[in-house]
Each structure stands twice: as C-alpha cells, then as structure tokens.
Amino acid sequence: MTKPAHPDYDVVIGLEVHVQLRTESKLFSSAAVTYGDEPNHHVTEVCLALPGALPVLNGRAVELAIRAGVALHCKIHPASIFARKNYFYPDLPKGYQISQFEEPVCTGGYLDIPMNGGEAKRIGITRIHMEEDAGKSMHEGTSDTRVDLNRSGVPLVEIVSEPDLRSADEVGSYLKTLRQILRYIGASDADMEKGQFRCDANVSLRRHGASELGTRREIKNLNSFRFAEAAVRTEIDNQAQLLDEGGSVIQATVGYDSDADRIFVMRTKENADDYRYFPDPDLIPLVVSEARIAEIAAELPELPADRCLRFQEELGLGADEAQVLTGSRELADWFEAAVGDPKSVRNRESAGDPKSVANWVVRDVLGALNERDVEIDAVALAPEGLATLVRMVDEGRVTAKSARGLLAEILFEGGDPEALIQERRLEALSDTGELETVVDAVIAANPEAVASYGEGDKKSVNFLMGQVMKKTQGKADPGSVREILARKLEG
Ligand code: ADP
Ligand code: MG
C-alpha cells in the first residue's frame, strides 16, 4: 500500500461508467451502430424524432445488459421501466433521452478488484440501467455547430458503483477489471478511444475517521484509464488544499483538462439540471421471465477471476502469470489451446507442459505482441504449434535458442515447427561424440583461453562455450557442452 498523500482525510469515490453495448443496431431503432462513418448516414425517423415515430426495443441490448448484471452479481429485475430524461440540447432531437430511472434492470451487485499485494477488495455496484446515447455536436473547422446523429440512440448501460473506492489507484483497478469482464462476456468492446467506455468520477473528502460523507464533485467524461486516475488525483489534491485552508467544497460538476492537468468547473449545484423524469408512455415495461434470465446466466462464459484461479489450481501456474494469461479471453483461449485439456491423458502427448507453455507465452509471445503493439489475434502460429516447439525444447530435441529464433520467424507467419526444425537441421546436438569433436576443435584453436583457465580464470570457460555455440549455430545443448568442457579442461 502506498501512503495516502493527505493523511488528515479519507477519500471517497463512486464511479458512473457508461458502456456501449455490442449490438448491430440501436436501442430503439433499426439504424446500424457504426463508428467513424459519414455523419447522419445511420439514422431513422426514430433517431430523428420525427412526429409519430415509435421506439421498438432491441432485444439483444437487453440480453447484454442482463449479462453484465449477472457477471457483476446483481439482482436482475423481471420488470423494469424506461423513463424520459428531459433536457434541451442540439444533439438530442427528441428533447429527452430514454433511460431507466426508478426501476432499472439490475441493482445491488459487486465487483472484486485486485489490490497491491494480491488480495482483492469488493466494490458495491448500486445499479445498472439501460439508456440511449445522444448524438454528437461538432465544432471543428467551422464557426457553426454541426450535429451528427449516427451515435444518437446507440445502446448504453450505465454502471453505478457505491462510494466504496478510496484512491486513484483503486479507480484504475476498478475500471480495468470492469472493462475486462465486459469484454469477456461479449457485452461490449469497451474501446475507450471510440468512447465505448467512459467514466464520471464522484470524489469527496472527509476528516479521517468521520462517518458522514463529504460534499462531492463529479468529474465528467473521463475516457482513458490514465486520465481517470490523473483527474481523480488532481481533484483529491484540490479538495484537500481547499479544506486545509478552511474552505468548504461546493457540490459541482467539473471537467478535466488533461493537457494542463487541471480541473475546471462546468456547473454548480445551484443551477443543477432538473430532468423532470417520467415514465415513457411509448414504452411498455421491460419484462423478462425468470427462465430467460436463468438461461442468459447459464450461457455466460467463465469469468476472468475464476479462470485465473483455475489456471493456478489446475495448471499449477503462479498468481502473476495466471493473471497475465487471463488478461483477455482471446489470450486465455489461445494459451489453453496450447496446453490442451490437462485432465485428458490422450491429449497430453500433443500438448505442452502448462508451466513451460506459460513461460513461453508470457516471455516470448507477449514480448513479440508488445513490440508490435498488437493483440493475440495477430498471431498466425497455431497454439498447438507453440506446444510442439515447447515440448521439443523440454525434451532436449532443440535448444531454447534455436526454438526462440524459429518462433520469432513463424509467430506472425505461421508454420509447422517440427517440419521446419527437420528441414533446417535445427535439431539439438545431443550426440556427445559429435559434441566432443567440436569441443576438441575449439580447445585446439584457443590455447590462450585454455591457458588462462589453467591459471585460475574460470570465466574463460564461458568464452569457450560461446565458441562451441557459434560453431554449432546454437544447436548444442548448453548443459552437455559445459560438462564436456569442464571434463576436458580439468582432465
Ligand atoms: P447522481 O445521479 O446525481 O450523480 P447518485 O446519488 O446516483 O447521484 O450518485 C452517483 C455516484 O456518486 C455513485 O457512484 C455514488 O456512489 C457516488 N457518490 C454519492 N455520494 C458521494 C460522495 N459523497 N462522495 C463520493 N461519491 C459519492
Ligand atoms: Mg451523476
């Protein structure tokens, strides 16, 4: 745990996260959900709020919202109500946003977030409600404001946390864990650069040990992990300074200028919005049967935290590697395909040893992915191919060095490692007779190194090893070479 920057105060943070659901069409219209297309090319009369146009609820969006609720251990309500949230804004043609207010689809769940040191902290989830996104006002390159309604009506869930977070680090951990889960269950791509996962952070301070919550300020629209943490940190510093100077926090909605690392006030409570929520008479209550809810729950894939534990218990991995390997569902799937089913004896022959495969994936595969800044889907080598390579290394049929060289070549190109190893004669030199000949030649060619070894410079054996490796193009088994060298030099 890092020491709190302001020991006189306890920090209290609750997050509201807006998540774009992964649907083909909008929440109440058949217009396509797209990104970066020509403005106003994906709108219907519903998106435009033409008179008489009626909303029709997208069933897929409901299913994804329920998935999120189940994954976050919420109560899923068989009946929920859509309401009108009224405000005037150019990118909102109806003059109201359809949202859920008093009766949302999910309430009362939690999210366990990993903390420094390995243990987890449980953060309460107050509610998850469905709502539609607004359009986009554009100001670039013109003195006018232009409106793009492609985004208008895109389905969102808003996930509201209890005020359980206590630091900027916890905010980062919460957001990362939440995004990971939403991606695992296919509820959202949660691409922050495309605005599919954005966060409002409510921050307050109270005297250390006090039980009443302090007055909060809400930082709007944080769209990267880094900015969210930085904004919260800055806001905490600001409030602490204000309180230290004897001032009091005035409830406000604020924004974060990341270039200047500065918080600015957008509006204070005195002119807070009054949305005049009321049930939308165009929409009947959203009713989902208990059977359907159970079905959606049963179809959920294994969640990352469970998978991480299973990798430790079933495959014997360390906590850190298990965490890395379950970072995304795609990576975990790829790794598991390389490992094969550990319970199946039959598959063991074609699969790799879990610990070895884990090492190779974490070090070599992820290393290469990071270098290119790509994800596991960029890999062309079949997971079984990596398994074969790792097994050949473990069996001493190829050296780690040769295997690493080959892997670098075929990871993004694909290929059959066993065939390539044969074709290129990369098999490890394990025949000691052959190795002895090479060692003899190296000793004969390097009398100075041999002499300095004799004079007590034991490090010169490394030089000789290097020469053997060079002569064998890295195919000699290092252990055997060391053994033979030691025997010949001492003898
Ligand atoms: P609103 O919808 O007006 O923003 P809510 O009561 O729904 O207000 O709260 C929104 C978020 O603010 C929730 O995540 C909640 O946990 C958090 N929150 C409420 N009070 C505080 C407080 N005093 N300090 C920090 N966070 C708070
Ligand atoms: Mg709010």
Give yes or no for a contact between 55 and 111, defined as CB atoms under 8 angstroms apart.
no
Record the tokens describing residue 287, joined without a space: 């009713």
CA of 180 to the centre of ligand 2 (A): 23
Record the tokens describing residue 371, joined without a space: 């270098």
Nearest C-alpha to atom 7 of ligand 1 is from which residue? 160
CA of 114 to the centre of ligand 1 (A): 23
Question: Would the pLDDT of 104 be above 70?
Answer: yes
For residue 165 and ligand 1, the question of a CB distance below 6 A is answered with: no
114 or 347: which carries more pLDDT confidence? 114
Give CA separation, 387 vs 253, 324, 354, in Å: 53, 18, 9
The helix or strand, by DSSP H or E, that contains position 81, with its residue range, turns out to be: none
* Amino acid 270: pLDDT: 67
Question: Would the pLDDT of 461 be above 90?
Answer: no
CA of 207 to the centre of ligand 2 (A): 23
Give the confidence band of 472 by pLDDT, cuts at 50, 70, 90: confident
For residue 160 and ligand 1, the question of a CB distance below 6 A is answered with: yes
Amino acid identity, position 91: D
Give yes or no for a contact between 385 and 415, defined as CB atoms under 8 angstroms apart.
yes
Give yes or no for a contact between 106 and 65, defined as CB atoms under 8 angstroms apart.
yes
For residue 204 and ligand 1, the question of a CB distance below 6 A is answered with: yes
Q: What is the CA radius of gyration of the chain?
A: 30
* Amino acid 44: pLDDT: 96
Q: Is 236 helix (H, G, I), strand (E, B) or coil?
A: helix
Record the tokens describing residue 382, joined without a space: 């079949």
Q: What is the pLDDT of residues 167-208, one digit of tens each?
A: 999 999 999 999 999 999 999 999 999 999 999 999 999 999
For residue 249 and ligand 1, the question of a CB distance below 6 A is answered with: no
Provide the β-strand partners of residue 113: 121
For residue 253 and ligand 1, the question of a CB distance below 6 A is answered with: no
For residue 216 and ligand 1, the question of a CB distance below 6 A is answered with: yes
Q: How far apart are CA 376 and CA 339, in angstroms?
A: 16
Q: How far apart are CA 157 and CA 159, in angstroms?
A: 6
Give yes or no for a contact between 357 and 386, defined as CB atoms under 8 angstroms apart.
yes
For residue 43 and ligand 1, the question of a CB distance below 6 A is answered with: no
* Amino acid 3: pLDDT: 64
CA of 261 to the centre of ligand 1 (A): 23
Q: How far apart are CA 191 and CA 194, in angstroms?
A: 5
Question: Would the pLDDT of 148 be above 80?
Answer: yes
* Amino acid 425: pLDDT: 84
144 or 29: which carries more pLDDT confidence? 29
* Amino acid 118: pLDDT: 73
252 or 143: which carries more pLDDT confidence? 252
Q: What is the pLDDT of residues 32-52, one digit of tens each?
A: 999 999 999 999 999 999 999
Give yes or no for a contact between 332 and 307, defined as CB atoms under 8 angstroms apart.
yes
DSSP output for 387-443:
HHHHHHHHTTSS-HHHHHHHHHHHTTT---HHHHHHHTT---B--HHHHHHHHHHHH
For residue 161 and ligand 1, the question of a CB distance below 6 A is answered with: yes
Q: How many CA atoms does the CB half-sphere of 255 hold within 13 Å?
A: 7
CA of 14 to the centre of ligand 1 (A): 6
Q: Which residues, 6+ apart, have CB-to-CB distance to 200 below 8 Å?
A: 15, 16, 17, 18, 218, 219, 220, 221, 222
Question: Would the pLDDT of 139 be above 90?
Answer: no
Sign of CA dihedral 397, 403, 407, 410: negative
Q: What is the pLDDT of residues 295-325, one digit of tens each?
A: 999 999 999 999 999 999 999 999 999 999 9
CA of 71 to the centre of ligand 1 (A): 22
For residue 13 and ligand 1, the question of a CB distance below 6 A is answered with: yes
List alpha helices for 12-162, DSSP H: 45-48, 59-71
Q: What are phi and psi of 140, to 5 degrees?
A: -70, 140
| Ligand 1 atom at minimal distance to the Cα of residue 161 | 14
* Amino acid 342: pLDDT: 61
Q: Which residues, 6+ apart, have CB-to-CB distance to 224 below 8 Å?
A: 192
Nearest C-alpha to atom 24 of ligand 1 is from which residue? 204
Region of 195 please: left (phi>0), alpha (psi -120 to 50) or beta: left
Which of 99, 202, 213, 220 best tests ligand 1's pocket when mutated (most atoms within 8 Å of CB)?
202
Q: Is 200 helix (H, G, I), strand (E, B) or coil?
A: strand
